[in-house]
Structure 1
Amino acid sequence: MMRNIHYQIDPTEFTGKRVLVTGGTKGMGNAMLHRLHNAGATVASTARSTAPENHPGLFICADVSVVSGTRHVIDTVMAHWGGLDILINNVGGSTAPGGGALGLSDEDWTQTLDTNLMAAVRLDRGFLPGMIARKSGVILHISSIQRRLPLFEATLAYAAAKAALSTYSKGLAKEMGPKGIRVNTLSPGFIETTAASALIERLADQQGSTLDAARDGLMQSLGGIPIGRPGRPDEVAELAAFLVSDRAMSVHGAEYTIDGGTVPTV
């Protein structure tokens, strides 16, 4: 059973910081957005759908998997704020069908790469010049443990794209560190977001099983989770808040895994 955790949040820690979290209306992105907002940041987020009623700060309706979408986000943020202090590239996922490698078309690969790699590349390219000019900024890329633990049935393209994102992030860190910009990667495992909970419910209905049994089945598909449960969006948000804060000033070019011990290798 998961315990309710009450975090101690400094409401002024991010005062004066302009933060963009892509995909900030649901799941981990929404948790990160609210965590930073509650700590004093001026926040913005993106999504392809409309903003929820409790959305804080600036909302930009855009599909960042396409060039025009990232351009719209960059132009809107620049018009409102003139730049960013913190960029969290959180958008990701896959709509590719099952069937393994031979079931993936060129279109599946292109869409997955655009969503999970090129969205971050384009947004970084748009906001980095201002960060370089100020000699200050933080970029956090949200990758996945699948970049080290790929699942071939339906998410091989996703795993490959996240591996590319992690490699890109490391190279970018080497280039940008001397310019005053920190770049890190956060790689979650199975996090029980609203979407994951809906998947668990569908599996339980299809299998005629309980929610606990369906959840356990998903965990076993990853090889098990040693702590015995999926992670929570607020736990990811807490780690992200640390990584983009001044408390992590010497953390650079690093990749932090939050997966409950799922990845079995060093």
Structure 2
Amino acid sequence: MENIQNQTQELEGRIALVTGGTKGIGKAIADRLTQAGAKVIVTARNQPGEIDLQHYFIAADLSVPSDVTKVANEIHEQFGGVDILVNNMGSNTLPGGGFSVLTDEHWDQALQVNLLSSVRLDRALLPKMLEQKSGVIIHISSTSGMLPIWESTMPYSAAKAALNAYSKTLSGEVAAQGVRVITVSPGLNKTQAMATFLEDLAKSAGISVEQMSQNLMERLGGIPLGRMADPKETAELVNFLVSPRASYITGANYIIDGGNFPVV
């Protein structure tokens, strides 16, 4: 019982930043870290409709370098730095249909949002972690980075694959200095963003959202657990990875996909 009670507030005194933290997986992570005792900062482009007094909010578009600088400066001024950084920001909103419909602007947008926003924020906030010789960075990637679908995720998958490689190399650089870097690759999560993605695909294909959802799961090879994840399930994994219980884990990529990924 004592061990369980200790775990409920095991992040007390820690400062955490969750990007894209006002909805979907990001909000679930922010809420879970708060529940574990952390003071959580969230970023998003727009203030959420319902004010969440649990979290310190900074409006920012992290695909814009100057906004990354703004966020880092405010964090350093208000909190001195962070102990936990969850780079959750990402999106797959570009046109489907393969290489011929994708412009240079589309590719640049995918890289800015899904890769370079994390690279820049790490560069801004990591020095303080290295100075204090402790910290955890989580990069939220996607199984799409290892299992791409040309019809709908080409630039997104390429950017997430690059994020996976970057995260692994960064972990090797900073591990000896007390900072852990871990990748989490969710599969399909039942979020509003996923619902919009499926609606757009269904409209383009002229079929129902239900049929498109089934088609997507079949295209991915099926999900043995038979459903999409609840974002809270992904958040629970992240909460464990940033906790002292995961103190010997770094450089790994954790796949959380209901058994979908087809290789050992």
Q: Give the structure-1-normalised TM-score.
A: 0.91
- Please say if residues 51 and 59 of structure 1, whose CA atoms lie closer than 8 Å, have aligned partners that are also in contact: no
User: 1:198-225: per-residue Cα shift (whole Å, max 9, x none)?
Assistant: 455677788565x654432331232211
State the shift of 1:179 in Å: 0.5
1:110 corresponds in structure 2 to 108
CA distance in 1, matches of 2:153, 2:70: 29
Give 2:63's aligned residue.
65
Q: 1:24 to 1:254 in 2, by over 3 A?
A: same
The aligned residue for residue 12 of structure 1 is 9
Residue 175 (structure 1) shift: 0.4
Name the structure 1 match of 2:213. 215
Paired letter, 2:33: L
1:219-234 superposed matches below 5 A: 219-234=217-232
The alpha carbon displacement at 1:261 in A equals 1.3
- Give the letter for the 1:182 counterpart: R
Aligned twin of 1:168: 166
CA distance in 2: counterparts of 1:214 and 1:66, whole angstroms: 33
Q: Counterpart of 1:255?
A: 253
Correspondent of 2:127 among 126, 129, 136: 129
**AA matched with 1:45:** V
66 and 202 in structure 1: CA distance in 2 versus 1, 3 angstrom threshold: closer
Native 8 Å contact 1:146 1:162 kept in 2: yes
Cα deviation code 1:47-95 (max 9, x no counterpart): 0111342522210100001101111111111111010000000001122
What is the identity percentage for the equivalent residue pairs of Structure 1 and Structure 2?
49
Kept in 1: contact 2:183–2:254 (CA 8 A):
yes
Residues 134 and 178 in structure 2, CA contact (< 8 A), matched pair in contact too: yes
**CA deviation digits over 1:216-239, x for unaligned, max 9?**
233123221111111110000000
Q: Aligned pair in 2 of structure 1 residues 97, 28: CA closer, same or farther (>3 Å)? A: same
Deviation at 1:13, TM superposition (A): 1.2
Distance in 2 of aligned mates of 1:74 and 1:64: 11
State the AA in 1 paired with 2:255.
T
RMSD: 2.0
Letter in 2 for 1:46: T
Secondary structure at the counterpart of residue 154 of structure 1: coil
Equivalent residue for 1:84, pick from 67, 82, 103: 82
TM-score (norm 2): 0.92
Listed as ranges, the gaps of 5+ residues in structure 1 are 1-6
AA aligned to 1:36 is L
